[in-house]
């Protein structure tokens, strides 16, 4: 290849690499450029009113707070709205704030969205049947990315803050507080699609039906290092109610959530559930599962701690029509007013029968009995467990746990093992998990320890 051809090829490559940056614009709001006009400029890639022309993936920079007096255009392009950590957009309790079309990708960065309200007569949020009243702050039919942002005091029929239909939602270091839904999903409602979240905080969100913070239907959910506190559902799932799909939760905290029926923190229906490295405390259910009620699916809980949760049945966990494995779990100081202060495997008919595999776990000091299996529930396996009252085929022994340890910055709490605990080296080395709840390698001694925490000198 000649020198001229090589130079031409390099020039073309450099042009292609630079192209995404070239096809982008910053649109600064001001006296002559409203948020509505800026979105239109980004969608059309042309100047609108006093707003500069968009050009591909655009960024709208807020220069002040925005109080909506009209509905905003549907986002139909790749767009970032940056509040610069200073400004909010308010729906004035009259308007949904953003609607992302199927072809749109909206990134919200360093921004507060408040008092959005989806209402009849608003822009239709995908489908019919009242969908214009879904998603108080955002209706997402495409892709939604949320970075270092806050959603507060938004409301809707379902999805108080966000409703997403067959879309992608990604959340990082953002919070949802005091959002509400007249139906399901006090903060988020996911209809199919996916949610990926890291370092999210959900606090004091309320659903009149299911899922105080999150309700999902046939969705894939991956939650890491997040906190759910004081959320409430009048029916099921004080914090979350997944219905179908797959849910992965790791290194997260569920505390003080409340439901009027099943699943003080989580009510899982017909889903594949994986929980690891997490803590559930102070959650309450009127009926089944103070922390978790799993029904009709497959639940896997590993290296996690449950304490001071309460319900009528299954103070910490209740398992119905579900194939559940609890491994290296610590379940202590929970309360059931009827049966199963720690664990309840139920239910009343063969069709509702739960199946439990319990391994390497501590279940002790639970009011209402540590572990109960009623009528058609089945204890498939109980091995290498310490169960205080000897129920569910466990060794009737006090595990001698240490005082509760609450790490800084709200990380999941846990009960360490003192050096005289009978849980130390009492597991089966061939069945050990690789690490414990806080990341300590297993085993530290001749074999792994029973419960969520490995003793390390």
How much is the pLDDT for 15? Answer: 34
Measured CA to CA, the distance from residue 333 to residue 352 in angstroms comes to: 27
The answer to whether the beta carbons of residues 202 and 210 sit under 8 Å apart is no
Sketch the domain layout of the chain as residue ranges: 245-419
Measured CA to CA, the distance from residue 223 to residue 206 in angstroms comes to: 20
Q: What is the secondary structure of 153-213 as a DSSP string?
A: S-EESB-SSEEEES-EEEEES-EEES-EESSS-SSEEEESSEEEEES-EEES-EESSS-SS
Residues 6+ away with beta carbon under 8 Å from 69: 92
Measured CA to CA, the distance from residue 371 to residue 449 in angstroms comes to: 20
Residues 6+ away with beta carbon under 8 Å from 60: 26, 27, 28, 29, 35, 38, 39, 42, 79, 80, 81, 82
Half-sphere exposure of 231 (CA within 13 A, CB side): 43
What is the pTM for the complete model shown?
0.93
Q: Which of 276, 198, 452, 243 is nearest to 266 (CA)?
A: 243
Q: Which helix (H) or strand (E) holds 250?
A: strand 240-250
Three-class DSSP category at 239: coil
How much is the pLDDT for 128? Answer: 77
Task: Give 155's strand partners.
Answer: 117, 180
Query: Measured over all CA atoms, what is the biggest interatomic distance in the chain, rounded to whole angstroms?
Result: 85
Rounded average pLDDT per 10-residue block, the chain, 457 residues: 42 36 73 95 95 93 95 96 97 97 97 94 81 95 98 98 97 98 98 97 98 98 98 98 97 98 96 97 97 92 98 95 92 96 81 85 98 85 96 92 89 96 97 96 97 95
């Amino acid at each position: 290849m000649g020198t001229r051809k090589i130079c031409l090829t390099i020039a073309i490559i450099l042009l292609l690499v630079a192209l995404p940056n070239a096809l982008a614009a910053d649109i600064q709001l001001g006296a002559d450029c409203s948020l509505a006009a800026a979105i239109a400029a980004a969608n059309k890639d042309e100047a609108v009113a006093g707003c500069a022309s968009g050009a591909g993936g655009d960024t709208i920079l807020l220069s002040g707070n925005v109080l909506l007096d009209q509905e905003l255009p549907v986002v139909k392009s790749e767009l970032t709205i940056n509040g610069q950590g200073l400004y909010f957009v308010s729906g004035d309790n009259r308007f949904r704030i953003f609607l992302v079309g199927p072809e749109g990708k909206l990134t919200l960065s360093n921004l507060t969205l408040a008092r959005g309200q989806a209402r009849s007569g608003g822009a239709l949020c995908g489908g019919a049947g009242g969908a214009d009243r879904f998603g108080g702050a955002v209706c997402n039919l495409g892709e939604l990315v949320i970075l270092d942002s806050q959603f507060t005091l938004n409301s809707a029929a379902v999805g108080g803050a966000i409703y997403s239909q067959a879309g992608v939602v990604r959340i990082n270091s953002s919070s949802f507080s005091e959002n509400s839904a007249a139906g399901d999903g006090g903060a988020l409602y996911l209809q199919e699609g996916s949610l990926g979240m890291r370092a999210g905080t959900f606090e004091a969100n309320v659903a009149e039906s299911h899922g105080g913070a999150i309700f999902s239907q046939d969705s894939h959910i991956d939650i890491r290092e997040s906190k759910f506190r004081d959320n409430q559902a009048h029916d099921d799932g004080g914090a979350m109610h997944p219905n179908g799909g797959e849910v992965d939760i790791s290194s997260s905290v569920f505390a003080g959530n409340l439901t009027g029926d099943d699943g003080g923190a989580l009510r899982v229906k017909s889903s594949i559930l994986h929980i690891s490295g997490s803590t559930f405390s102070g959650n309450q259910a009127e009926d089944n599962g103070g922390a978790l009620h799993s029904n009709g699916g497959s639940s896997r809980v590993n290296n996690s701690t449950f304490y001071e949760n309460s319900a009528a049945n299954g103070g910490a966990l209740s398992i119905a029509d579900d194939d559940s494995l609890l491994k290296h779990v610590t379940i202590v100081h929970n309360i059931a007013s009827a049966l199963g202060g720690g664990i309840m495997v139920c239910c009343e008919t063969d069709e509702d029968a739960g199946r439990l595999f319990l391994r390497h776990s501590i279940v002790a000091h639970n009011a209402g009995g540590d572990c109960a299996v009623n009528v058609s529930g089945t204890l498939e396996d109980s091995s290498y467990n310490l169960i205080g009252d000897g129920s569910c085929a466990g060794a009737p022994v006090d595990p001698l746990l240490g005082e509760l340890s609450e790490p800084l910055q709200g990380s999941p709490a846990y009960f360490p093992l003192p050096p005289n605990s009978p849980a130390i080296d009492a597991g089966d080395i061939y069945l050990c998990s690789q690490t414990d709840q806080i990341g300590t390698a297993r085993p530290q001694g001749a074999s792994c320890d029973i419960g969520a925490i490995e003793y390390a000198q």
